Amino acid sequence: MTPGYSYEQYKHLLQKIADVKYASAVLQWDQETYLPPKGNDKRGRQIATLSELAHEMFTSESTGELLNKLSLAQLPDREKRNATLSLEDYNKSKKLPSSFVRKMSEAVNKSFHAWIQARKENSFSVFEKPLQEIVELKKQEAGLQGFSAHPYDALMNDYDKGLSVKIVDELFASLRPQLSALLDRISSLPQVDNSFLFQHFDKQQQWDFGISILKKMHFDFDAGRQDLSEHPFTTNFSSEDVRLTTRVDENDFSNMLWSCIHEGGHGLYEQGLSANEYGLPLGEYCSLSIHESQSRLWENCVGRSESFWKHNYPALQHVFPQQLGAVSLRKFYQAINKVQPSLIRTEADEITYHFHVMIRYEIEKQLIEGSLAVKDIPEIWNEKYKQYLGVTVPDHKQGCLQDVHWSHGSFGYFATYSIGSLYAAQLYAAIEKENPSLNEVIAGGNNTLIVNWLKQHIYQWGRYYSSNELCKKATGAVLGTTDFIQYAGKKYGNIYGASPGTHE
C-alpha cells in the first residue's frame, strides 16, 4: 500500500461524508413530519448546502486519488469490494458538478412544498412550474451521466444498477397480459365484501395496533420510531436510527395498517444492515428493487396472508369489537385482499397495483425523452387510468398529485415497485421451499424465521451483489414472473372460491 493511502483512511473519509449526508437526511425527515410552514425556505437552503458539501467532499481530487490507489491494493474480500464500489460511485458522482447538485436540491425543496400546496388546493397548476424545473434538471442529469440507448436508463441506474428501459419494457410486456388475464378471471367471479373496513376506526387505537404489529415483525423501537407524514416513507440515519412514517384515515382501516407493515419491511432491511459498515457500500441496501421486495414481502406475502391473521385477528377484534367482532376471520381475510381497480396506488390490491406502476413508468419515460410536456400530465394520466384500470379520475389529488416521488426528483424509481413485488414473491417461494411448515409457524405468531432468513440471504450482503446476483444467490434463479403469477393465482383462487388459473 502506498504510504498515506490506507483502508482506515478511506473508511474515515467515507464515514465523515456519511455524517454530512445523514445530517441532511435528518433535516429532510423533519421537513416532512414536524417542520413549521415558515421554516420551508431556510430548510431548503440548509439541505442544499449539506448536499453540495457532501458531493464536494466525495468528488474531490484527493478522494479520487485515494480510491484509485486503494482499488489496486491487496485487501481482504469485503474491504476490496467496498473500495471497488466506492470508486464506481466516485466516477459516477464526478459527472455531476457540485453546483448542479445544489441546484437540484433547491429545486426539490421548492417542488416538495408546491406539491403539498397543490394537494391542498387540488390543483395541478400549482405544481406544474416547479415540476417542469425538476424534469428539465433530470434531463440534464441524464445527459451528464450518459446513456447508450435511452436517457431514462441513466436515471433508473440511480435506483437499481443495470436496470434499463429495454429490461423493464420486456418485463412489463410479459407481466401485463398475465395480470390482465388474471384480473379478467377474478372479475368474472362473485366479488368479496369489504364494506366493514370503511367504518369509523379511532385514530389512536389504529396507531397503537400498528405499533404492536411492527413489534411482532421485530422492528426495533430502540433503533427506530414511527411518525405521521403526508405520504408514508422510511428513512434512516444509520442502521441504529431508522424512521418510519404512516398516515391514518379514521374511515378506512386499511390505509394505515398496511402502510405500517410496508414501511416496516423497509425498516427491517435498514436495521438489518451492518452497523460496522456505516457509510460504506456494504452497509447500504443493494438497490431500490430489493428494498421494495422487502416491503412488499411483508405487506403482501406475510401481512395479507391468512396465516398472519390467524394469530393477529383476535387481538384486532378485541381493539375494535363493535366494527369487527361479528366479522369472521375468513371474511376479514377476503376483504383485505379484495381485487378491484381503484384510483390510489398505495391502497391498490396486489394485482391492479402493477398497472398503477406501469402508468407512472410510461409517463416518466415520455417526460424524460421529451415526447410529453409537463402541462399534459393530467390528461394522459386520466386517459391511462381509463385504459388500464377502467376507472375515471375525479380530480388531481386522487390522480396525478397522489405520489410524492416527482416532487422529490425521484424519476426512475417507479418500476422498482413492480420489480420489487416480483422479487418478493420469488424470495418468499424460496423461504417456503426451505421451510415447508412456514404457514403454521406464522399462524403461531412467530415471525423470527422470516427475519432470520432475510438477515442471512439479503441484509448481510449490503451492496456486495447486484439485484439479480443477490436474487440468484438467495433463490437459485434470476428474476422472473412465474413465482408471482403462481402465488397470485393460488392466493386469489382461494379467496374468490374458484381457481383463476395461472398464466405462465
What are the catalytic residues? Answer: 263
CA 16 to chain CA centroid, Å, is: 27
Q: How buried is 78 (Cβ within 10 angstroms: 0-12 exposed, 13-18 middle, 19+ buried)?
A: middle
Q: Calculate the CA dihedral of residues 244, 249, 255, 259 and round it to 10 degrees.
A: 0
CA dist 501 to 186, 454, 481, 484, 494, Å? 10, 30, 15, 13, 11
Q: Is the Cβ–Cβ distance between 324 and 316 less than 8 Å?
A: yes
CA distance 504 to 501: 10
Q: Which three cell numbers stand for residue 372?
A: 410529453
Q: Is the Cβ–Cβ distance between 377 and 391 less than 8 Å?
A: no
CA distance 236 to 25: 8
Please count the residues of the chain. Answer: 504
CA distance 423 to 430: 11
CA dist 98 to 129, 290, 304, 428, Å? 24, 29, 45, 42
Interior CA angle at 263 toward 320 and 447, to 5°? 70
Per the rule left: phi > 0, alpha: psi between -120 and 50, beta: everything else, 181 is alpha
Q: What does 33-56 look like in DSSP terms, one character per residue?
A: TT--GGGHHHHHHHHHHHHHHHHH
Q: Which three cell numbers stand for residue 34?
A: 414536524
Per the rule left: phi > 0, alpha: psi between -120 and 50, beta: everything else, 202 is beta
Q: What are phi and psi of 363, to 5 degrees?
A: -65, -45
CA distance 122 to 287: 33
CA 96 to chain CA centroid, Å, is: 25
